[in-house]
Amino acid sequence: MAATAVLLLSCPDRTGVVAAVADFVWRHGGNIVDAEQHTDDVDGVFFQRVEFELDGFAFERDDLPKAFWAVAERFDMDVRVHFSDERPRLAILASKASHCLEDLLNRWRAGELPAEVALVASNHPDHRALAEFSGVPFHHLPVGDGPDGAARQEAAMIELLEREQVERVVLARYMRILSPTFVERFPSRIINIHHSFLPAFVGAQPYRQAHERGVKVIGATAHYVTAELDEGPIIDQDVARVSHRDSVAELARKGRDLEVAVLARAVRADLEHRVLPFGNRTVVFH
């Protein structure tokens, strides 16, 4: 398919925004193929995703942000410009559990995820064969002994990601807490899957917490990572009904089915430029 441009914008809600954006695209030879919008009535903020064909458009890609500046300045917009044929370099990090990693690699091989999977990295050696089967380099970065073992391992991970020019990071059940230094290097570019319906049961062993609480639904949450543990903007969630008959192991089994689907939807939405972070929330266009 021919490449398209995507404008992700937010601004104070006022009349004329939709008309101005559409007029800009039309006047410069573009054809809009998809447009979605949302108004947050509480904060008075307007959000829009506009996708249009580049074939015949008046401006080259590099000139598009500058060309759109007059519209953005007029409406006090925050604007992100993307292109549908972008293939960001993606790193998938996982610990011992393999279900999310395996699902993402399967979807990537099937062409469902518009990215270049640059590497798989883990603090355990378990996933080498899985990564190599998919033709993806595997890196084992164990956490060494001693009080500075975790810090040295994270420094090695950061060095690896920067050396491989990674642009997006997916935590596919990577059971390490990232430091603020790590997170700051990839703002709104790290996606985590948490095996709980946040904000309930943050931290470790959420299925055990859910069992002890006697919940009737369990969930999974994909979110952008921030310095605050499990507090980042939520991209996608889902739930499944459970009962008193379900053991912790059964809750975990049901939860794994949720985790793979929720994480895949979140990663794909991010890669297709359908997510607009807004404070500690997101607007996700479908």
Residue 233 DSSP symbol: P
- CB contact set of 261 (below 8 Å; sequence gap of 6+): 220, 238
103 annotated active-site: no
> Taken in order 185, 191, 193, 194, is the CA torsion positive or negative?
positive
Cα 167 to Cα 88, 120, 173, 271, distances in angstroms? 6, 14, 19, 11
Distance CA 207, CA 219 (A): 9
- CA separation for the pair 74, 69 (Å, rounded): 8
Which residue from 281, 252, 284, 280 is spatially nearest to 267, judged by alpha carbons?
284
Sign of the alpha-carbon torsion through 72, 75, 80, 82: negative
The tokens describing 136, both together, are 């993806």
Residue type, 115: A
Point out the catalytic residue in the list 23, 230, 236, 238. Answer: 230
- According to DSSP, the residues that pair with 241 across neighbouring strands are 217
Catalogue the active-site residues: 230
